[in-house]
Structure 1
């Protein structure tokens, strides 16, 4: 997972897919790749609503003390997303697939990227269509 956060190709691919307006699902360890979308310190995912592994989930499986960064903390601080735990997040193995506005969704223990606050067009990112 940690290498995804620094993979420039992955960052470009996610940025392109977001701008295309096509559906975007980021699953399993993929939410770490949102950290690679920053260009000059800003990500096109800024102000989007997401859910992903929580710090508590990382602690619960014994990984928090062995990693150099925590996904929940870093996507909020470095990408600028609006983080929420989402429904059913108390059980890290709880399988869910939930469609959301803008053709972006989430699957089991993963990331959900949905509408952003404010005008998205100002950064060249299409505004999600209403549900």
Structure 2
């Protein structure tokens, strides 16, 4: 549901897979029979669900979008490639340390230059003649 790829997952009898947080949200209700939020098939939490660890190679090969997709990042690739991409992604939401405004990483330099540029002072040229 959330798009995260955790090491531990919960698999329903309908084969949909959930991270621990999403699974907790699904079973939060105290009914004896619950429904998968994806296909609405019913399941019994204690009988149908078992925590499992996904194999590292399998997880690294899953296809994902960058977490910053909503900010305009177009990265789409494997989890392994995402690990390399993520640190250099230009679509992180940052907070300007000078004014606390939200700014995309790709816009930070231009933001600082335009919003926080110190005005240039006009200084009269020095006279080379002796003072009178």
Q: Which of the pair is proportionally richer in strand?
A: 2
Q: Which of the pair is proportionally richer in helix?
A: 1
Greater RCO structure (CA 8 Å; 6+ sep): 1
Smaller-chain TM-score bracket: under 0.3
Q: What TM-score, normalized by structure 2, do the two folds share?
A: 0.21
